[in-house]
Amino acid sequence: MSGVFVTGTDTGVGKTEVSLALLYALQARGLSALGMKPVASDGEAGAQGLRCDDALRLQAQNSFQVPYELVNPYAFEPAIAPHIAAGEAGVEIELARIGAAYDQLAAQADWVIVEGVGGWRVPLGPSLSVSDLPTALGLPVVLVIGLRLGCLSHSLLTVESIRAQQAHLAGWVGNLLDPDMRARDENIATLAALIDAPNLGVVPWIENPSAEAVAEHLDLDILLSERPMGASGAR
């Protein structure tokens, strides 16, 4: 089994689109792949409990059906920071629960794509943040960079934090959020020069992106050449 943890420079930069595309690309290679969203907000209550759109989209793209609770162990209704939503719900987000769900998915598939919530340093509790998850799960990191004005500082600060956390940055994906972005190519060149990790692709502006359309712009061979990090880490 192999896997990656998909994080972003901020919320709304395209983590879900890239995660779906990675699932699609792996499946197109004949590999079984499952998506996971350990923590998600903005859920809707239904007969089966809270369901969050990002997690449902990952579940629908999975190679085979797995219980929603494994895909999304922590679902919250309000579209607010997850640690605040958890506090309002009287819930403590625990690594052990996330790790147990991940292990069940990892035992069934060739690859597991784990999507974070918000940006890299989003708090999940008083002493837990998104940045703790990849190390705990033993996963390398794929950073999604939203290409727009201000992306250089956000990206480099995030990369510095990933390194400081001693997580392995497997690569980064540029996702064009502003179709009219000035000096787009120059910004991409700057990122490539300053980030000491491979560029896995640059996704152009796509009005209604599908997993297949986004996957066309990703270099899966770079990820497939990554050495698996092994079993889940400290938890």
pLDDT band at 48 (very low <50, low <70, confident <90, very high): confident
* pLDDT above 80 (res 135): yes
Q: Please return the burial class of 166, using the count of CB atoms within 10 Å of its CB with bins 0-12, 13-18 and 19+.
A: exposed
Evaluate if residue 173 carries a pLDDT over 80: yes
15 counts as catalytic: no
pLDDT (average), residues 95-122: 97
How many residues make up the chain in this entry? 235
CB neighbourhood size of 80 (10 A)? 14
The model's confidence at residue 1, banded by pLDDT at 50, 70 and 90, is low
Structure tokens at 161: 């934090």
pLDDT grade for 230, boundaries at 50, 70 and 90 = very low
Predicted local confidence at residue 49, as pLDDT: 85
Residue 231 pLDDT: 42
Residues 6+ apart with CB under 8 A from 42: 52, 53, 76, 77, 78, 79
Q: What's the mean pLDDT in 30-49?
A: 92
Given the residues 9, 20, 34, 37, the one annotated as active site: 37
Mean pLDDT to the nearest integer, 11-15: 94
- The percentage of residues in the chain with a pLDDT greater than 90, rounded to a whole number, is 89
Q: Which of 6-20, 118-132, 214-228 has the lowest mean pLDDT?
A: 214-228
Tell me 130's DSSP state: G
pLDDT tens-place string over residues 197-217? 999 999 999 999 999 999 999
For the cut 70, the answer to whether the pLDDT of residue 140 exceeds it is yes
Whether the predicted model's global pTM rises above the 0.85 cut: yes
Work out the average pLDDT over 25-37: 97
The 33-36 sheet, strands edge to edge = 33-36, 111-115, 2-8, 141-147, 169-176, 199-203
